[in-house]
Every structure is written in structure tokens, then in C-alpha cells.
Structure 1
Amino acid sequence: MREPVPFVSVIVPTHNRRASLVACLRGLLAQTYPSDRFEIHVVHNWSDDGTDAAVADITRDAPTAIRYDRRNGRGPAPSRQFGADAARGTILAFVDDDCVPQPDWIAAGVAAFGPGIGLVQGATYPNPSHPRRLLEKTVHIPRPSPWFETCNIFYRRTAFQAVEGFSGPFADLFYGEDTDLGRRVLAAGYGSAFAPGAVVHHDITAQPLRRWLMECWHLRNIPMLVRRWPALRDDLFLGVFLSRQSAAFDLGVAGLVATPFVGPVGLAAFVPFLFVRMLEPGRYRNPVAVALRAAFGLPRSAVTFAALLTGSLRHGSIRKGGIVL
């Protein structure tokens, strides 16, 4: 980095999350990084929830420059691209509106850039001040991720521009655009790093059953990603299955299909899935809660199976190499 203290542009896409965005901005304004060496750009996919007024209120007394743009965008990726195009920084920092950056977030992320490093991932944890829910949405990324999630990531601007940012077949998709961007930066010859001190706390939000189940439907884009970036198979279970849990569920489905031929014993093929669900690390310690977690995993895993099967049929074949189950 040529600058002794690189200038950082923090890009925050937002939609219908006024309260969460306010917490995010307060976290950004409490950074230990010099306040005159970074800017904040809020890109608002318009929602009539008072977001514009809330940002204006915070901006009045902010020690750091805050830019606000209202757009009727097509989703988070175009908003991030819009923010990146307007950025002044040599480092582009992306964070989601439901994340609270901790005080050293920018400083730790910038410090991890070395020669040839094009992107730096930070650590994301569920917000410890939020209550846990049985049906919830949050993010937990304590170590380097092959998916390069944009809830907490930094890009060298020259690397971002070298691959034309959020472009290509994932540019307008809701899931997979961040993975594709990170993979293109690596393919362009840049390295990646992980900054454990660049921490954000992700909201824990309760979800109704239908939304909790359908969150997994976005996984239908994974076979398309794997077809485009075969090296992702190194991070799949046995190179084919999304995870050990999905492999165990697929075994259960195979047993269910075989039931007309082998009788009820075929249903025993679901036993490994329940064991995997119960034995995998989780936040529950009470045996009853662990059992409930295992049971609730069945319908969610069914949606995951349907999503991956749909994506594999659409984007994959043995010849094209896009099968993920």
C-alpha cells in the first residue's frame, strides 16, 4: 500500500432496516481508524421506513463523511457496485446493514493487506446482545470462507476494478454474486487474507416458519457457482455434497425412495441424518432442545435438497460438472 494510512470507502447497501442500519452506522462512527481517512456510503434501495431521515440525523454530527443515495435498485449487488463506482478510497470495505462493526474493524482489515493481497475477509459472529431464537437468521463466519460473503469483506480497489466488480452472470442474482467476485479476484492473480480482528456482529432476527425454510432456496445457485469455479468442490463434503448434513439427508431420501421395495426398513436411512444433526456443534446443550433441533432440521434440509437438485438439473450435468447435492 502506497498510502501510510489508506483511505477506505465503506459501502453499506440497505433496504427496510432502519433500526439495524442506525446501529451499523454508530458502529462505523466509533472506529479507531482515523475519522478523516474513511468515508461511509449508504446506498438505499428505497423503502418508506424512515431510513432517509435516520441517516440525515446521524450525518449532522458525524465526524466522518457520510454519503446517502436513494435508488430503486435490483438488489444488494447493484447497490454495492453503485457505491464502489462512487468510492474515493483505495480500499473498498463492504458491510451489511444488519451488522455492527466493532471498533477495530477497519484498522484490522486494512492491516491485513500486504503485497499482492486483493481481498481481506473479516470475522462475523452472531450479535451477543441479541436473544437466540429457535427459528432465526444470523451469520457465523469465524474463519476464512470459500464463499467470500460481503457482509464483512475488504477489497483493494485496483483488484475490484481489474475484474469489473459485480459483473458477469451473477451480477443481478441475490445469492452467489459475492462468491463469484472473490473467485474472479483470485483468478486474476491476487491473494486473499483473513483478519480475525476485523469483527462485525450480525443481527439475530426471528423468522416465521415459511421464511426460515425458504432462506435455503437461495442455495439453488450453488451448482452454478461450482460449475463456474470447480475448485469450490474442495470445500464440499466428498466433493459432491454441500455438507455432511446434506449428505446424510440425501441418504435418507434414497432410503425413502427404496421403501416400496425394501419396506419400512428403508426409513432407517434417516437415522444418520438425525445423528449428524444431534452431534454437530450447536448452541443447544439441553438434550430436549438438541432433539428438537434435529427434528426441525428435516423440513429445512428438504428445502435445501430441493434447491440443490433444482440448481443441479438447471446448471449441472456430469459433463458440465455442476452437480451439488
Structure 2
Amino acid sequence: MVEISVIIPHYDDLARLDRCLAALSKQTVTRDRYEIIVADNMSPAGEGAVRAVIAGRARLVFALEKGAGPARNAAAAAASGGLLAFTDADCVPDPTWLAAGLSALVRQDMVGGRITVLCERAGMKSGAEAFETVFAFNNRRYIEQEGFSVTANLFCRRDVYDATGPFRVGVSEDRDWCLRARALGFRLAYQQAAVVGHPARADWPSLMRKWRRLHAELFANALMRRGGRLRWLVASAAMPASILAHLPRILVSPALAGHRERALGAATLARLRLWRFADGLMRLVGARA
């Protein structure tokens, strides 16, 4: 009987989906204990192309509503396991990922694991890659200080998912879902040994696409909380000062090689934080109009 269902939302990223499924086929957990469900968001390549990449390694379901949240919900509805493991189509789980998550769920209701940043291009890192190598996906801090895990590396019991309800659209879905689950009394813990690799954004345009989406979702989350507008204003106003506060992390990071990578990372840090300052204030003004 299937013990755990691995849930993967997918949209138009066939090469990375193939890599993700290859990594999942190498798990130390025996294959009869887990199933893999790919929820496709109606990729332009078509069902035939998606099935060809899956090649029998997973079940395929479809999510008509756009977004990773609806895709995860569609996969969860089809899942037969009593435990759920969430990751993304562009991620690369370590061979012991499932085993580590399963062991932690014995003691917890929800578990988030460690996320490493993958640079897919050879050679010197771009500014976006340098920035994400240092700052992206600090899932331990998210869990222990902010109370949520990213859905690229999240485990939970099926009854926790059912009680909490589906992922919502238009908000920071992983944060929103975990906070709703914790409000019901469910416990979330960090599992260092459950490791997933996630690719860094390769350049400034791809980094901005990520942050435009994140900023819109985070603002929607803020408006749902009491005093959220004031909190958002304070956080936005602090963005310029955060450049100097966080610059030392780039300058001393062992993950960056040489002055050029550090300079590119520092420039991206400054550019992004100034954008977040301006965009944050504009969202407040627009919300009052």
C-alpha cells in the first residue's frame, strides 16, 4: 500500500520535470511505498509531450485553474497516500529526501526540509545567481522564525491537509497554508536531512518575475492581517537600510568566488531592495485609491 504521495505542480518545464522525476526514482525509500503525481497546468506542449517525459514514472492529472496552488490541490485530491510530500518540477530532491521527511513526520504534523541553491550555468555567477545563492530559500529561518515552509520542500499528514483546506490563489500560498495549519494547532518542524536543490534565477528579468509575483502575494497576505498596512509600510521603508545590513553576507559568503561575483551580487541586492521599497509604497497608495 502506498504510504506517501509526492506532489509536483508543473507548467511548461519539461526538461526540469524529467530531471526531478529522475531524482525521485533514486530515493532510498522502496518504490512500493510512494507514488508520484504530476499536476499539469495545461502546458502549451500538450498532454502527449508531458506524458512522454513522465514515461510511466508518475501519474498525470490536470489542473484547469492556473497556478501552482491549484495544481497542488488537484494532485492532492488524486493522492492515495496517508502522507503528502510537496516539491516543484524544477527541483532536485536528494536520494534520502523522502526517508528523512518520513522519519520526521513520526514526531511532527508538518515538516519542511533544507533547500540548496543550484546554479545551472557553468562559469562565473550572474548577479541574480550570486544574490540567490546567498539569500534564497533559507527554509530553516522561514520555519523557525516566520512559521512556514516553502512548498518546494514540505511534508504533512493527509489529515492535516484536509483540515487546513486547499492552497489559496493570489496570496503567498505556502506561507498562507502553513499559517492556517498552525492556527489549527498543527506543529511544523525543520528537518535538515531532507534536502532539495532548487535552481537559482539566471538573470535580472527572471529574478524580477519571481519578485513581482512574490511582492503581490505578500501584499495580499499583509492586507489579510490586522495592522497589515502599517506592517507593510514599516517593512517597505526599511528596505534601503537593509542593503547595508545584509551586504556583509555577500562579502563573506564562501559560496561566492572572487570580487566580481561579490560585486554583482551586491549590485543586485541594492537594485532589488530599492525596487521593493518603491513598489511597496506604490502598492499602499494604489490600495487606498
Residues 74, 172 of structure 1: 8 Å contact kept: no
The alignment partner of 1:68 has SS state of strand
CA distance in structure 1 between the aligned counterparts of 2:264 and 2:194, rounded to whole angstroms: 34
Counterpart in 2 of 1:215?
Answer: 210
* Structure 1 position 133 matched with structure 2 position 134: no
**Matched residues in 2 for 1:83 and 1:157: separation?**
12
Shift of 1:176: 0.4
Q: 1:259 maps to what in 2?
A: none
Separation in 2, partners of 1:119, 1:230: 26
CA distance in 1, matches of 2:127, 2:45: 27
- 1:217/1:307 Cα in 2 relative to 1: closer, same or farther (>3 Å)? farther
Distance 2:94 2:31 in 1: 15
Distance 1:32 1:56 in 2: 25
> For 1:77-127, what per-residue CA distance to the aligned partner results, in whole angstroms no more than 9, with x for missing partners?
001001111111111111001101111111101111145x32110111012
1:89 aligns with 2:81: yes
Specify the alignment match of 1:111 in structure 2.
Answer: 103
Correspondence for 1:155:
156
% of aligned pairs identical? 28
Residue identity opposite 2:272 in structure 1: R
Aligned: 1:297 with 2:264: no
Query: Tell me, which stretches of 5 or more residues in structure 2 are unaligned?
Result: none
Contact 2:105 2:155 in 1 (8 A): no
Other-structure match for 1:255: none
Q: Partners of 1:200 and 1:231 in 2: how far apart?
A: 35
Q: 2:281 aligns with which of 291, 304, 309?
A: 309
CA deviation after TM superposition for structure 1 residue 313, in Å: 4.6
**Amino acid across the alignment from 2:27:** Q
Alignment of 1:23 onto 2:15? no
Q: Where does structure 1 differ by over 6 angstroms across 4 or more consecutive aligned residues?
A: none
Contact kept in structure 1, 2:114 and 2:139, CA below 8 Å: yes
Query: What is the alpha-carbon distance in structure 2 between the residues aligned to residue 48 and residue 214 of structure 1?
Result: 20
The answer to whether the 8 A contact 1:13-1:80 is kept is yes
Partner of 1:172, secondary structure, is coil
Counterpart of 1:112 in 2: which secondary structure? helix
TM-score if structure 1 supplies the norm length?
Answer: 0.73
* CA distance, structure 2, for counterparts of residue 178 and residue 231 of structure 1: 21
Counterpart for residue 172 of structure 1? 169
Matched, 1:241 2:235: yes
Other structure's SS at 2:86 match: strand
Bigger share in helix:
2
Q: Secondary structure at the match of 2:70?
A: helix
- Is the contact between residue 109 and residue 160 of structure 2 (CA under 8 Å) also seen in structure 1? yes
- Going from structure 1 to structure 2, the CA distance change for 1:204 and 1:11 (only over 3 Å counts) comes to same
Report the aligned-residue RMSD: 3.2
1:280-291 → structure 2 map (5 Å cutoff):
280-281=249-250, 282=253, 283-284=255-256, 286-291=258-263
Structure 1 residues 192 and 152, CA, compared in 2 at 3 Å: closer, same or farther?
A: same
Q: Secondary structure at the match of 1:73?
A: coil
- 1:135 match: secondary structure: helix
**Structure 1: which 5+ runs fail to align?**
252-271, 317-325
**Normalised by the size of structure 2, how large is the TM-score?**
0.81
Q: Which digits, 9 at most, give the CA deviation of each residue in 1:120-151, with x for residues without a partner? A: 10111012665433234674335251342111
Q: Which amino acid aligns with 1:121?
A: G
CA distance in 1, matches of 2:181, 2:227: 14
Matched position secondary structure for 2:27: coil
Shift of 1:58: 4.4
In structure 1, the residue matched to 2:60 is: 68
Q: Output one character per residue of 1:205-227: Cα deviation in whole Å (capped at 9) or x when no partner.
A: 423x3343343223133244245
Query: Does the Cα contact within 8 Å between 1:213 and 1:299 map onto a contact in 2?
Result: no
Q: How many residues align?
A: 273
Task: State the Cα distance separating 1:311 from its structure 2 match.
Answer: 4.2
For residues 187 and 6 of structure 1, what CA distance do their matches in structure 2 show? 29
CA distance in 2 between counterparts of 1:221 and 1:310 reads: 15
2:39 paired residue number: 43
Q: For 2:283 and 2:149, how far apart are their aligned partners in 1? A: 20
Report the CA distance shift for 1:20/1:59 in structure 2 as closer, same or farther (over 3 A). same
- Secondary structure at the residue paired with 1:280? helix
